[in-house]
Amino acid sequence: MSNEIVLDFHDSLLRQSDLDLLNGPHWLNDNHIAFYFEYLERVAYENSSKDVAFVSPSVAQLMKNSQPEEIVFFCEPLHLDTKQFVFFPVNDSESPDTPGGSHWSLLAYHRAKNVYLHFDSSEGNTNNKPATKLLRNVAPFIVKNESFPTLTEGECDKQQNGYDCGVYVLCNVERLCEMWIGKGKYGNSTSHTDAVKKRTDMIQLIRALRK
Instruction: Tell me which of 75, 156, 165, 177 is the catalytic residue.
Output: 165
Is residue 112 scored above 90 in pLDDT? yes
Range of the domain at 106: 5-210
Quote helix, strand, coil % in the chain, to nearest 5.
45, 15, 40
pTM listed for this prediction: 0.93
Instruction: Tell me which of 18, 103, 118, 171 is the catalytic residue.
Output: 103
Q: How confident is the model at residue 109 (pLDDT cuts 50, 70, 90)?
A: very high
Query: What are the tens digits of pLDDT across the range 36-81?
Result: 999 999 999 999 999 999 999 999 999 999 888 899 999 999 999 9
Q: How confident is the model at residue 102 (pLDDT cuts 50, 70, 90)?
A: confident
What pLDDT does 118 receive?
Answer: 97
Residues 6+ apart with CB under 8 A from 62: 70, 71, 74, 96, 97
Q: How many domains does the chain have?
A: 1
Query: What are the tens digits of pLDDT across the range 182-202?
Result: 866 545 466 677 888 999 999
The span from the CA of 118 to the CA of 201, in Å, is 24
If one compares 125 and 18, the residue with the highest pLDDT of the two is 18
The span from the CA of 148 to the CA of 124, in Å, is 24
The span from the CA of 129 to the CA of 120, in Å, is 11
75 belongs to the catalytic site = no
If you count DSSP H runs as helices and E runs as strands, how many of each does the chain have, helices first? 7, 7
Query: What are the tens digits of pLDDT across the range 118-141?
Result: 999 998 889 999 999 999 999 999
What pLDDT does 98 receive?
Answer: 64
What pLDDT does 144 receive?
Answer: 87
CB-neighbour burial class of residue 201 (10 A; exposed 0-12, middle 13-18, buried 19+): middle
Looking at residue 146, which CATH number applies to its domain? 3.40.395.10
Instruction: Tell me which of 18, 30, 92, 120 is the catalytic residue.
Output: 120
Query: What are the tens digits of pLDDT across the range 1-15?
Result: 578 999 999 999 999
Average pLDDT over residues 159-164: 91
